[in-house]
């Protein structure tokens, strides 16, 4: 349910302290003196962060000091410590604006300083080191810039470009270290990492594959002389590399073991570009076992998401091997609404441009058919959450293309949810989908694609619809309403199964084995639809 209680244990004695911090979001930070905790307090009725508080060990929770409260239900609230360990950053934000305030971690009683206000209407990520704040912001360029300002006078007018914004280079993430800054980039959908030493020229880290999922991993020490990198691709299991700053060597530290065994040489991956109906080229990542015939004789399993600027990485999935070994190709459609091709890619799939996301997915499928990767009607598709909304929209739009559809915790009742401001996640989501309460145009546009509102009396492919009874993000009645209306309306006799997990939230069933069981059921459903029995 994403509502937590915090207890503190003395690791020397094994005994719990008397402190009991309830109704929290799960994020924690010890104070510098280790005599207290910084945490996020949730609203009693709504699942939203209402304040960031400071708890001193031995005190009762009502005595905790509020560092920053957020009264506007349209904003999320979170916090983190800077890499230098000198500042606490608390930010309120939604998909359009960030308000960031910093506290001195050496003295949390000192008045905080605002780095940005919500009225400025830009997004901001903050880190700190060597007397400077570093600021990743889309204030001057859609693809963000990295700015730098002295911590002695960090007002906005003093910000200076450290890396200027670029049409080609999308700045995604960064971390400040004592001797350098590491930056995560995306150049036309290809991910890379750059190192910017304090007193030497910048350079890129050479990586094993061109198309891969690459990012900064856990780098907890400000003064470390390496960068730990998280790396994987469609054919490379989750890996950990260390890049040494002195030798410039990239050392492989760990590769995730695949218990069933895995031979990378038996699989092949491609990056394709599919033309959308408006002329835009949509990236497609695809993987298959060697010997896959591009003669439209074998099935494809197509996945998509496309929302919140959350790009689908070309990553490795051990479970997908079960399908690849049975003759499937697995593809990811990097549709607009994610940020795979830059931040504008996200903007072109939200609010009044949401239909682009659905069109892109259908057009990717049509491209795979035209290129003879698969035949029409032999594509199984899958998406979760906002990706479940995508599944609902495209099964309404083009049901004849799909062999089966899996809608995981699907956000299919978009209009009714966005009309209900009492739901905890509705107000902050208005910046993503539009506010149909205040805008007739938003009402009409959401209604035009909202999957639940566009079910028709026609034939639909087999569907598996899942939900979690404790899900606070996509409440269980959305998959239930979708299933009930479909059963009452559709004209076919195809299988329509709904599975509501009574011990699950939004992300997964409880426990590793329960998650594996769920995956096995979902793949069994897909294989059944394709007539594969072994």
- Residue positions annotated with a catalytic role: 385, 471, 506
Terminal alpha carbon distance of the chain:
37
C-alpha distance from residue 409 to each of 272, 371, 383, 487 (Å): 29, 32, 9, 18
Among candidate residues 427, 499, 497, the one with its CA nearest the CA of residue 463? 497
Among candidate residues 129, 152, 156, the one with its CA nearest the CA of residue 140? 156
- In the block, tokens 């959401």 appear at 446
What token pair was written down for 190? 């290809």
C-alpha distance from residue 79 to each of 32, 90, 102, 139, 405 (Å): 15, 4, 10, 21, 38
Mention every residue, 6+ apart, whose C-beta is less than 8 A from residue 202.
194, 195, 196
Given the DSSP bridges, would you call strands 402-408 and 379-384 parallel, antiparallel or unpaired?
parallel
Rg for the chain, CA atoms, rounded: 24
Q: How far is CA 62 from the centre of its chain?
A: 34
C-alpha distance from residue 86 to each of 102, 131, 159, 173, 238 (Å): 10, 10, 20, 20, 32
């Amino acid at each position: 349910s994403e509502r937590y209680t915090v207890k503190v244990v003395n690791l020397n004695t094994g005994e719990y302290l008397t402190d009991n911090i309830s109704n929290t979001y799960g994020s924690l930070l010890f104070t510098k003196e280790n005599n207290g905790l910084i945490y996020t307090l949730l609203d009693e009725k709504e699942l939203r962060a209402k304040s960031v508080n400071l708890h001193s060990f031995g005190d009762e929770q009502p005595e905790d000091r509020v560092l920053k409260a957020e009264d506007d239900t349209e904003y999320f609230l979170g916090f983190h410590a800077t890499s230098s360990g000198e500042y606490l950053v608390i930010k309120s934000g939604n998909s359009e604006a960030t308000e960031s305030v910093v506290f001195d971690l050496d003295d949390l009683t000192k008045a905080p300083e605002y780095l940005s206000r919500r009225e400025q209407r830009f997004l901001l990520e903050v880190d700190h080191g060597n007397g400077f704040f570093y600021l990743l912001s889309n204030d001057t360029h859609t693809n963000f810039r990295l700015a730098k300002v002295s911590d002695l006078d960090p007002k906005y007018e003093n910000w200076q470009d450290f890396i200027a914004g670029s049409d080609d280079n999308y700045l995604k993430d960064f971390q400040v270290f004592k001797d350098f800054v590491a930056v995560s980039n995306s150049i036309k959908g290809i991910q890379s990492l750059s190192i910017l030493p304090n007193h030497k020229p910048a350079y890129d880290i050479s990586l094993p594959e061109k198309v891969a999922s690459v990012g900064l991993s856990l780098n907890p020490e400000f003064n470390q002389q390496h960068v730990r990198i998280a790396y994987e691709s469609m054919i490379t299991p989750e890996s950990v590399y260390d890049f040494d700053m002195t030798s410039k060597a990239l050392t492989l530290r760990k590769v995730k073991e695949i218990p069933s065994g895995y031979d990378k040489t038996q699989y092949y991956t491609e990056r394709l570009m599919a033309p959308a109906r408006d002329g835009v080229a949509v990236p497609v990542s695809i993987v298959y076992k060697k010997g896959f015939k591009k003669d439209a004789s074998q099935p494809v399993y197509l996945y998509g998401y496309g929302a919140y600027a959350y790009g689908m990485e070309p990553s490795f999935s051990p479970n997908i091997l079960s399908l690849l070994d049975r003759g499937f190709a697995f593809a990811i459609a990097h549709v607009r609404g994610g940020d795979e091709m830059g931040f504008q890619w996200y903007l072109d799939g939200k609010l009044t441009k949401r239909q682009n996301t659905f069109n892109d997915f259908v057009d990717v499928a049509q491209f795979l058919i035209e290129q003879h990767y698969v035949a029409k009607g032999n594509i199984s598709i899958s998406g979760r959450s906002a990706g479940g909304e995508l599944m609902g929209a495209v099964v309404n739009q083009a049901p004849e293309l799909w062999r089966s559809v899996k809608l995981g915790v699907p956000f299919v009742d978009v209009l009714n949810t966005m009309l209900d401001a009492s739901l905890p996640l509705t107000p902050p989501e208005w910046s993503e989908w539009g506010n149909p309460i205040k805008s007739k145009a938003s009402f009409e546009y959401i209604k035009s694609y909202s999957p639940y509102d566009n079910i028709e009396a026609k034939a639909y492919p087999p569907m598996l619809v899942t939900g979690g009874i404790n899900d606070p993000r996509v409440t269980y009645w959305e998959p239930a309403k979708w299933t009930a209306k479909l059963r009452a309306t559709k004209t076919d006799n195809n299988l329509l199964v709904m599975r509501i997990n009574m011990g699950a939230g939004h992300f997964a069933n409880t426990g590793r084995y329960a998650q594996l069981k769920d995956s096995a059921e979902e793949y069994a459903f897909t294989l059944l639809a394709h007539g594969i029995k072994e």
